[in-house]
Structure 1
Amino acid sequence: MNKFLALLFFVLLLNCKEKTINISKDITFDKQMDISYGNDSEQKLDLYIPKNTQQNKDLFIIIHGGGWKGGNKSQLTYFTLSMMKKFPKSVFANINYRLASENRFGIPNQTDDIDTVILFLEKTLKYKPNIILLGNSAGGHLSMLYSYKFDANKRVKAVVNIVGPADLSDPSFKSYYDYSFVENHLVDPTILSKGISIEDHASPVYWITKNASPTISFYGNNDTVIPLSQKKILDSGLNKNGILNQSFEFPGGHLDWENEKNASFVIHSISEFLMHTDKK
């Protein structure tokens, strides 16, 4: 663990029972942990709102990975705190969602959960913020899929996709060790439109149009889970539709975006990219 994350972990421990969290001398957030945004026990979020500032227009919704059937928001707590230091005037919601299983499909439940979170936060904040969906792995996939297909009101200002699969029909992705789960339990087959396969329905690239949200992506050059071919496919779909986008390769595998050097690069790149979206 790098020194900054170690310090944040110490700060988090000190403030675990407090209603505020001090990121630094000049950066303080009000926090609420494990807020229920729905009736299911998995529909929880941690909310961080900058203290002593006026209305904050940007809201980061952080969406964890875990193959659609695992993971927890706690996995991205440190990264969320690092983002809060870089974006001290933004609101952050680090969310859980209903996990897929052999008895429960991931989609549409998980994209519905993102929609429910947005409505819940608009009501909680009492204004409509600019939504930035940020997810890693399955969370990156869900961020893109929700934004490109389900964001009917175009509330998503930008998507930050970290090692998320963009095309589930990509032959290189089909070597994913749990691809049978994707085929059998990711999408409820009763929601499919005629002529659309499960893979296409669940592939963000299938739904990219000229109205898609600006997107920044990060992929590992030695990722054995999400092949680098996904980056090329996504870049092509976004460029073909004239969508503002950037993509980067980082050195390492599926989880190496979290190490000190790569995480710093990811956060800096996000900041630079969002400046361009502000100018649109």
Structure 2
Amino acid sequence: MRINSAIIYSYIYKYKLTIIFLMKSLKYSLLTILLFVNLCSCSNEKTDAEIIDTLDPSLYYEQLDIAYGQDPDQTFDLYLPANRSQNTKIIVLVHGGGWSAGDKSEMNAIKDLLRLDLPNLAIVNINYRLADDDNAPYPMQINDITNIVEHLKINKDKYTISNKLGFIGISAGAHLALLWSYAFDTKKQVSMVCSIVGPTNFTDPAYLNNTNPNLQELLDSYGSDAPITYLEEVSPYHQATNTAPPTILFYGGQDPLIPTTQGTALRDKLQSLGVAHGFTLYPEAGHGWTGLELLDTWTKLKAFINTYI
């Protein structure tokens, strides 16, 4: 029997079309399945921003090295207590280092004390851009604090915190905390500020007439021949008014960098302005202290925070 080649070719052509159709159908089916799976997956996954948006205020939360600018030093650590509310106050920690050195890790001991003894507070431990030959500390570091406070305000609903805050600063960080609280807190968010061995007055004769080269090197961060008007602008003593927040001060009588008058002059001015304040001088202490004096500092500072924040 002869087989008609035309019929064979016809069957082959139809069979080929059928295979192509099936392959295309399978391809589209697979694409549909993949698309469906992808959509389902996307609906269940959350970005970091979305996770922050849905923070559970009943749970403790911490996040380290939150960026608030482009510079590597523009970061802060955030510690949020469990069972917080829109009334949860914030303590901002500002490290020292002569405006040109230091790191937020140096404030971890105070952070741990706050978490232990005042567990209902939110804590923000900050880094700021450090001064060098090309970057003066002012207004750069004040601007960094402003940006952090603005970040907290913008994200207050995400973090479940209030706008009210307090500052604890050490050395140069205490100067920045005082200056920002007195001169740059335009919305009156600061409930209290603490200075531990912080400079307060660059026009103090003990500074202007000093013969200590190490001290002068630090002061030169704010200009070796700066005019008095500028020195007053960057001095918390000259920026304090009767609307300044409650202030607590701690100083060492043997401090080689911070003369006693840096503390006593601000104490006297706050007294004359009617601003609530505390002042402690440890006569034999230097630029920091330990033991019973440190315990005394924490006891007084904790009571001050409980009273005013």
Q: TM-score, normalised by structure 1?
A: 0.81
Structure with the larger strand share: 1
Does 2:186 match 1:152? Answer: yes
State how 1:174-193 maps to structure 2 within 5 Å. Answer: 174=208, 175=210, 177-183=214-220, 185-186=221-222
Match of 1:119 among 150, 163, 168: 150
Task: List per-residue Cα deviations over 1:69-88 (Å, max 9, x = no partner).
Answer: 11110111122111211110
Deviation at 1:37, TM superposition (A): 1.3
- In structure 1, the partner of 2:105 is 74
What one-letter code is carried by the residue in structure 2 that aligns with 1:43?
Q
Match of 2:239 among 198, 207, 210: 207
Does 2:229 match 1:197? Answer: yes
What one-letter code is carried by the residue in structure 2 that aligns with 1:166?
T
Kept in 2, the 8 Å contact 1:68–1:186? The answer is no
- In structure 1, the partner of 2:26 is none
Does 2:267 match 1:267? Answer: no
Deviation at 1:207, TM superposition (A): 0.8
Deviation at 1:52, TM superposition (A): 3.5
Deviation at 1:130, TM superposition (A): 1.4
Kept in 2, the 8 Å contact 1:100–1:186? The answer is no
Query: Take 2:267 and 2:194, find their aligned partners in 1: how far apart are those partners?
Result: 13
Query: Take 1:123 and 1:263, find their aligned partners in 2: how far apart are those partners?
Result: 36
Deviation at 1:267, TM superposition (A): 2.0
Kept in 2, the 8 Å contact 1:56–1:90? The answer is no
Three-state SS of the structure 1 residue aligned to 2:90 is: strand
Kept in 2, the 8 Å contact 1:64–1:76? The answer is yes
Q: How many residues align?
A: 244
Task: List per-residue Cα deviations over 1:130-180 (Å, max 9, x = no partner).
Answer: 110110000100111011111111111111111101111112234352424
Query: Take 1:166 and 1:124, find their aligned partners in 2: how far apart are those partners?
Result: 32
Does 2:48 match 1:32? Answer: no
State how 1:1-280 maps to structure 2 within 5 Å. Answer: 29-126=60-157, 127-174=161-208, 175=210, 177-183=214-220, 185-186=221-222, 197-250=229-282, 251-256=284-289, 259-277=290-308
Deviation at 1:68, TM superposition (A): 0.6
Query: Take 2:168 and 2:116, find their aligned partners in 1: how far apart are those partners?
Result: 16
Task: List per-residue Cα deviations over 1:215-236 (Å, max 9, x = no partner).
Answer: 0010012211111111111111
Three-state SS of the structure 2 residue aligned to 1:197 is: helix
Q: CA 1:264–1:56 in 2, change beyond 3 Å: closer, same or farther? A: farther
Three-state SS of the structure 1 residue aligned to 2:123 is: strand
Q: TM-score, normalised by structure 2?
A: 0.73
What one-letter code is carried by the residue in structure 2 that aligns with 1:169?
T
Task: List per-residue Cα deviations over 1:189-213 (Å, max 9, x = no partner).
Answer: 9xx9xx8522211110101111111
Query: Take 1:200 and 1:101, find their aligned partners in 2: how far apart are those partners?
Result: 22
Deviation at 1:244, TM superposition (A): 0.5
What one-letter code is carried by the residue in structure 1 that aligns with 2:216?
Y
Deviation at 1:123, TM superposition (A): 2.3
What one-letter code is carried by the residue in structure 1 that aligns with 2:251?
Y
Which stretches in structure 2 are left out of the alignment for 5+ residues? 1-58
Q: CA 1:78–1:276 in 2, change beyond 3 Å: closer, same or farther? A: closer
Kept in 1, the 8 Å contact 2:94–2:170? The answer is yes
Task: List per-residue Cα deviations over 1:103-126 (Å, max 9, x = no partner).
Answer: 101010111111111111122332
Kept in 1, the 8 Å contact 2:66–2:77? The answer is yes
